[in-house]
Amino acid sequence: MILQRTLQNPIEISGIGLHSGANICLRLRPAAAGTGIIFYRRDAQRSAAIPAKVENVVDTRLATVLGRDGLTVSTVEHFLAALSACGIDNLHVDIDGPEVPILDGSAAPFIAAIEKAGTETLLASRKFIAIRKPISLIEGDKRISIIPSRFFRITFDIAFEHKAIAVQQYSMKFTSENFQRDIAPARTFGFLHEVEHLKSVGLARGGSLDNAVVIDEGGVINPEGLRYRDEFVRHKILDACGDFSLLGAPMLGHIRAFKAGHDLNAKMVRKILANPDHWATLEFDAITSQEAQRQNSPAFAVDLAWSKN
């Protein structure tokens, strides 16, 4: 059966906040089925519980920021992408600062910590949001469309004038293995002049070559170079995986994005939820799951669930 999961053991993850430069600690605690992912700000005189859902997105200019009752948690996308890759549906996340630690700028350290703690299967089936009709969103030269698919797939295109990036495309069928191998290590990136400007206005205090790919006029200035030839577009897919987890359930559909970012991702998630005639909730029962396992075909489970819907 395709069941919900949580963390097996509590763990702590500490690191520098990208913008604050402060040392921040996440404490991850197992949660019961149906809880979802909930952040708890614990550093202020008052606290706030902030579910990881799109209705709590309050800013998307530099990162995806969640907020509630006047408190916020920033830069959640890499962490949420890691949870999706590990199949974590339910989790309590205590955080003692305003942003998730940047670590090395990718999702890989989060996945390593989660795997070390282990995951636990819960006795509740996982629900999926399955796209039934194409849906699209266009703003200027940026666009996202989603078409029906028996799997979650992302195809992403980016285009920059800088020769170090230029035009890149990557397509990935989302599985834990594919994400961990091909996407998770891809780091966030930025241009040196942008980083210098952010620091001049009190942001990016924790930014360094240890947690981002930085580009100047000549190209990538990190001594070790890139982890992938097309690391930039792979990181855009990483961000999208985290942002689309704010649907509140895994999605079955093929995302096609061009020059999109956190803002357009969040708007598309809102548009999906606002158009329920374009999608359906699928839940796999024991018989469907057992038959799919016997045939070694997850697609069979999706087809059978569609026929019952």
User: Which residues form the catalytic set?
Assistant: 262
CB neighbour list of residue 245: distance below 8 Å, 6 or more residues apart:
37, 52, 80, 81, 83, 84
- β-strand pairing of 219-220 with 213-216: antiparallel
3-state secondary structure at position 76:
coil
CA distance 282 to 9: 29
CB neighbour list of residue 177: distance below 8 Å, 6 or more residues apart:
none
CA distance 205 to 24: 13
Alpha carbon distances (Å) from 277 to 247, 273, 284: 16, 9, 20
CB neighbour list of residue 159: distance below 8 Å, 6 or more residues apart:
166, 167, 258, 259
Q: Which of 188, 147, 152, 190 is nearest to 171 (CA)?
A: 152
Q: What is the largest CA-CA distance in the chain?
A: 59
CA distance 128 to 249: 6
